[in-house]
Chain A
Amino acid sequence: DVKVTQSSRYLVKRTGEKVFLECVQDMDHENMFWYRQDPGLGLRLIYFSYDVKMKEKGDIPEGYSVSREKKERFSLILESASTNQTSMYLCASSFSDSVYEQYFGPGTRLTVT
């Protein structure tokens, strides 16, 4: 059974703080993704990675960076958190031969005050 875990379910940070969101998958998936989900806007892709140390920008990368030092772990970094980054953050992973059949983690509800 595929398992994607995220470091926190709920997180509250202050404006200007550096925030780290961690995602770990245990299925040896090559691909990993970070999305945010907002009411009325749906799921939007922030960054994705097809391999270790590789990253690609998604639709809304501004204000975010990522790190993938190991195959199973993909981190999302908010360099200086702002209130408009309050959102639900979802990590997903998939095999390289079925990129779009993605398995999602439980999500992190981030509130920036």
Chain B
Amino acid sequence: QKEVEQNSGPLSVPEGAIASLNCTYSDRGSQSFFWYRQYSGKSPELIMSIYSNGDKEDGRFTAQLNKASQYVSLLIRDSQPSDSATYLCAVTGTASKLTFGTGTRLQVTL
């Protein structure tokens, strides 16, 4: 079992819709959770972090964390074509390092 699992996609949503990206992790000791966005041919950039159960909102982005279910998600409201990218989930483990999922590719269609 991979430490951090994401559906590779592509996840296709129409412009203006809500995109829902999901991530599960295996280490129950994980404390910090991050979402990075990576445009094709570019490097990852941090867009959200979440440290406690519940929701955290930042503009059109909402991160959701459920530690009991070992599940973290990213919602993108009013999706725009510029949101088309690969979204990487990253989780800290007991080894005090960041472990990345392989990413979900999001396509926002016109």
Which A residues have a C-beta under 8 Å from some C-beta of B?
Answer: 40-45, 48, 58-59, 90, 99-107
The residue on A at minimum CB distance from B102 is: A42
- Asked if B43 lies at the interface with its beta carbon under 8 angstroms from chain A, I say yes
Which B residues have a C-beta under 8 Å from some C-beta of A?
Answer: 32, 34, 42-46, 49, 88, 90, 92, 96-98, 100-103
B65 to chain A, nearest CB (A): 14
Please indicate the chain B residues that have their CB under 8 angstroms from the CB of A58 in the complex: 97
The answer to whether A106 and B88 have CB atoms under 8 Å apart is no
In whole angstroms, how far apart are the Cα atoms of A99 and B92 in the complex?
10
The residue on B at minimum CB distance from A43 is: B100
The answer to whether A104 and B45 have CB atoms under 8 Å apart is yes
Please indicate the chain A residues that have their CB under 8 angstroms from the CB of B97 in the complex: 45, 48, 58-59
In whole angstroms, how far apart are the Cα atoms of A101 and B49 in the complex?
8
In whole angstroms, how far apart are the Cα atoms of A4 and B60 in the complex?
27
Which of B44, B45, B98 has the largest number of chain A CB atoms within 10 A? B98
The residue on A at minimum CB distance from B98 is: A100
In the complex, given contacts A42-B100, A58-B97, A90-B44, what are 9 additional A-B residue pairs having Cβ atoms less than 8 angstroms apart? Answer: A43-B100, A45-B97, A45-B98, A99-B96, A100-B92, A101-B46, A103-B45, A104-B44, A106-B42
